[in-house]
Structure 1
Amino acid sequence: MQVVDSHIHLWDLKTHRYPWLENPGVSFVGDARALKHDYLLDNLLAEAGDIDVKKLVHVEANHDPAYPVEETRWLQGIADRAESRGMPNAIVAAVDLASPNAPAVLEAHASFANTRGVRQILNVHENRLFDYVGRHFMREPQWRENFALLRRHGMSFDLQLYPSQMEEAAALARAHADTLFAVNHAGMFVDRSSVAGYRAWRDGLRMLAGCSNVYVKISGLAMFDHQWTVESLRPYVLETIDAFGAERAMFASNFPVDRLFGSYTDLWHAYAAIVEGASVAEKEALFCGNAERFYRI
Structure 2
Amino acid sequence: MSLKIIDPHVHFLNLAEGQYSWLQGANPPAWPNLDKIKQPVSAEQLVKSTDFELAGLVHIEAGFDNTSPINELNWLSSHLKNLPFKAISYNQIDSPADQFTHCLKALAHSNLCGIRDITEGSDAKRLLDANSFKNLITLSNTQLHFEAQFDIENSEITKQVAYYAKQLPQLQIIINHAGLPSNLNTWQQGVELLAQHDNIAIKFSGFELLKLTCEQQAACFNFIFNHFGQQRIMFASNFPVCQINTSYNNLWHNYKAICSSNKIWHNLSYTNAKHYYQV
Which of residues 67, 76, 94 in structure 1 aligns to 2:90? 94
- Quickly say closer, same or farther: Cα 1:78–1:153, change in 2 above 3 A: farther
Which residue of structure 1 lines up, in the alignment, with residue 63 of structure 2? 62
| Shift in Å, 1:137 | 1.3
Which residue of structure 2 lines up, in the alignment, with residue 218 of structure 1? 204
Partners of 2:93 and 2:135 within 8 A in 1:
yes
Q: Which moved more, 1:29-38 or 1:138-147?
A: 29-38
Instruction: Please tell me the root mean square deviation across aligned C-alpha atoms, in Å.
Output: 2.0
Which of residues 103, 107, 112 in structure 1 aligns to 2:109? 112
Which of residues 205, 211, 228 in structure 2 aligns to 1:244? 228
Letter in 1 for 2:142: H
Which residue of structure 2 lines up, in the alignment, with residue 130 of structure 1? none
| Shift in Å, 1:30 | 5.1
Which of residues 23, 28, 51 in structure 2 aligns to 1:25? 28
- Quickly say closer, same or farther: Cα 1:26–1:107, change in 2 above 3 A: closer
Which of residues 140, 147, 152 in structure 2 aligns to 1:151? 140
| Shift in Å, 1:121 | 0.7
Partners of 2:19 and 2:63 within 8 A in 1:
no
Q: Distance in 2 between matches of 1:251 and 1:36?
A: 23
Q: Distance in 1 between matches of 2:58 and 2:216?
A: 26
Please state whether the residue corresponding to 1:15 is helix, strand or coil. coil
| Shift in Å, 1:108 | 2.5
Which of residues 180, 186, 208 in structure 1 aligns to 2:178? 186
| Shift in Å, 1:293 | 0.4
Partners of 1:181 and 1:214 within 8 A in 2:
yes
Partners of 1:157 and 1:181 within 8 A in 2:
yes
Unaligned runs of 5+ in 2: none
**1:156-167 maps to which residues of 2 (within 5 A)?**
156-163=145-152, 164=154, 165-167=157-159
Q: Distance in 2 between matches of 1:189 and 1:159?
A: 14
TM-score (norm: length of structure 1): 0.85
Residue 267 (structure 1) aligned with residue 251 (structure 2): yes
Which residue of structure 2 lines up, in the alignment, with residue 13 of structure 1? 15
| Shift in Å, 1:17 | 1.2
Letter in 2 for 1:75: L
Partners of 1:250 and 1:290 within 8 A in 2:
yes
Letter in 1 for 2:93: L
Partners of 2:33 and 2:243 within 8 A in 1:
no
Q: Distance in 2 between matches of 1:232 and 1:162?
A: 17
Cα deviation, 1:8-50, whole Å, max 9, x if unaligned, reads 10110111111112235344x65645533324323422322x1
Partners of 1:21 and 1:32 within 8 A in 2:
no
Residue 138 (structure 1) aligned with residue 124 (structure 2): no
Q: Distance in 2 between matches of 1:166 and 1:34?
A: 34
Residues matched between the structures, number: 271
Letter in 2 for 1:93: S
- Quickly say closer, same or farther: Cα 1:233–1:252, change in 2 above 3 A: same
Partners of 1:90 and 1:115 within 8 A in 2:
yes
Which residue of structure 2 lines up, in the alignment, with residue 293 of structure 1? 275
Please state whether the residue corresponding to 1:148 is helix, strand or coil. helix
Partners of 1:25 and 1:32 within 8 A in 2:
no
Q: Distance in 2 between matches of 1:68 and 1:37?
A: 21
| Shift in Å, 1:225 | 4.2
Letter in 2 for 1:91: A
TM-score (norm: length of structure 2): 0.90
Please state whether the residue corresponding to 2:174 is helix, strand or coil. strand
- Quickly say closer, same or farther: Cα 1:30–1:122, change in 2 above 3 A: farther
